């Protein structure tokens, strides 16, 4: 599992390179490890109409789901900032749709990261 998590962290860092963020210059890469052991990554994609911007976390999630994998174990998130960055509320809500016990790895570098539990970052998610 340690090797798989290292691979996941590297994937999030690599995915950041494809960020389309000409407005904020805030590059984010995310990589999801599914229950089947596959990794899906994504980067944030901005739009001149700012509210249409899509976060890296949701890009990675949509890639996994549309490939037939919707049970997530871990998500690693890397940015181009010096400090780790927490996912936004919208992404947390979106991710809980597919995994209530998701572990969230906030990556500073390959060797420096912190792991959080979904229930700590979003203790009460919206449910229908
Ligand atoms: Zn977000």
Q: What is the pLDDT of residues 56-101, one digit of tens each?
A: 999 999 999 999 999 999 999 999 999 999 999 999 999 999 998 9
Q: Considering 14, 46, 57, 97, which one is annotated as catalytic?
A: 57
Predicted confidence band at 2 (pLDDT cuts at 50, 70, 90)? confident
User: How much distance in Å is there from the Cα of 51 to the middle of ligand 1?
Assistant: 12
- What's the rounded Cα separation, in Å, for the pair 101 and 55? 20
User: How much distance in Å is there from the Cα of 83 to the middle of ligand 1?
Assistant: 17
Catalytic annotation present for 57? yes
Indicate whether 20 pLDDT > 90: yes
- The helix/strand/coil state of 43 is strand
- What's the rounded Cα separation, in Å, for the pair 32 and 57? 8
Q: With beta carbons less than 8 A apart as the criterion, state whether 24 and 34 touch.
A: no
Q: Exposed/middle/buried for 108, CB within 10 Å: 0-12, 13-18, 19+?
A: middle
pTM (two decimals): 0.96
Indicate whether 106 pLDDT > 90: yes
Predicted confidence band at 108 (pLDDT cuts at 50, 70, 90)? very high
- In 3D space, the residue among 88, 79, 85 whose CA is nearest the CA of residue 53 turns out to be 88
User: How much distance in Å is there from the Cα of 6 to the middle of ligand 1?
Assistant: 23
């Amino acid at each position: 599992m340690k090797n798989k998590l290292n691979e996941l962290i590297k994937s999030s860092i690599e995915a950041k390179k494809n960020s389309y963020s000409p407005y904020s210059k805030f590059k984010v890469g995310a990589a999801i490890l599914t229950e089947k052991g596959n990794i899906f990554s994504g980067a944030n994609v901005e739009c001149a109409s700012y509210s249409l911007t899509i976060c890296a976390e949701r890009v990675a999630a949509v890639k996994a789901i549309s490939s037939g994998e919707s049970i997530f174990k871990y998500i690693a998130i890397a940015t181009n900032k010096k400090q780790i960055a927490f996912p936004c509320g919208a992404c947390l809500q979106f991710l809980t749709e597919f995994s209530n016990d998701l572990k969230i790895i906030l990556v500073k570098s390959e060797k420096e990261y912190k792991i959080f539990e979904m229930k700590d970052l979003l203790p009460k998610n919206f449910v229908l």
